[in-house]
A = this chain, B = another copy of it.
Amino acid sequence: MSSLELPLASTPCERADAARNRQRILAAAGRLFARDGVACTSMDAIAAEAGVGKGTLFRRFGDRASLALALLDASSSAFQENFIRGPAPLGPGALPCERLIAFGHGLLEHVADNGDLILASERPSISGGRLHAGPYAAYRTHVMLLIAEAAPDLDADYLADVLLAPLTAELVLHQLKERQMPLERLAGGWEKMVHRLLNAGVRVDDP
């Protein structure tokens, strides 16, 4: 645990056939997910479509959730880059409260765009999977720092979990699809909620 070596980083050259197969698998998974939907695509089908054996698929990606995570990596990293180093109000430069609101808007959009894939990446066999793997830790740290900056009297460590909870893919997709709430309503509700929570005692101008 202490001497954790990143396997990808420590193997400068992945064997050529392995790299080729990884690409094939990612491409095949993307194709099938787009064609049949994430939920209706089995790992067998992905392996077949990629022209590799099942063993290879699981050797490369460990499990279904990690494969979904790998497919999400690009857009997920872009979002992280934006809220860490991007332009205000999402990135540095704006007030913490405004950044937090922008973060919620960005995450809502990210979930609306990549919902099914995120859901698949959050559904591992072990309990509390999404809280361990994936970008949750990064989101959490970011939100915690913003809360601590905006309202030092609050329990930022706890509130970070609280504020991330309503942005969960399962809930957001349910609100969008089953409950037919438009994305703008979720964004507006989030904005007002964050304002009231962080600026308690300060009158918020509602337009």
Interface residues of A (CB under 8 A from B): 39, 119, 127-128, 130-132, 153-155, 158-159, 161-162, 165-166, 168, 170-171, 173-175, 178, 181, 185-186, 188-190, 192-193, 196-197, 199-204, 206
A154 partner residues in chain B, CB cutoff 8 A: 192
Q: What separation, in Å, do the CA atoms of A185 and B155 have in the docked complex?
A: 9
Q: Which of B153, B171, B188 contacts A155 (CB 8 A)?
A: B188
- A52 to nearest B CB, angstroms? 27
User: How many copies of this kind of chain does the complex include?
Assistant: 2
- A9 to nearest B CB, angstroms? 26
- A108 to nearest B CB, angstroms? 12
- A142 to nearest B CB, angstroms? 17
A202 partner residues in chain B, CB cutoff 8 A: 201
Q: What separation, in Å, do the CA atoms of A65 and B203 have in the docked complex?
A: 45
Residue of A127, A155, A199 most packed against chain B (CB within 10 A): A127
- Asked whether A127 and B200 contact (CB < 8 A) given A155-B188, A188-B155, the answer is no
- Asked whether A186 and B158 contact (CB < 8 A) given A197-B193, A197-B196, A200-B201, the answer is yes
Q: What separation, in Å, do the CA atoms of A165 and B186 have in the docked complex?
A: 14
Chain B's closest residue to A188 (CB) is: B155
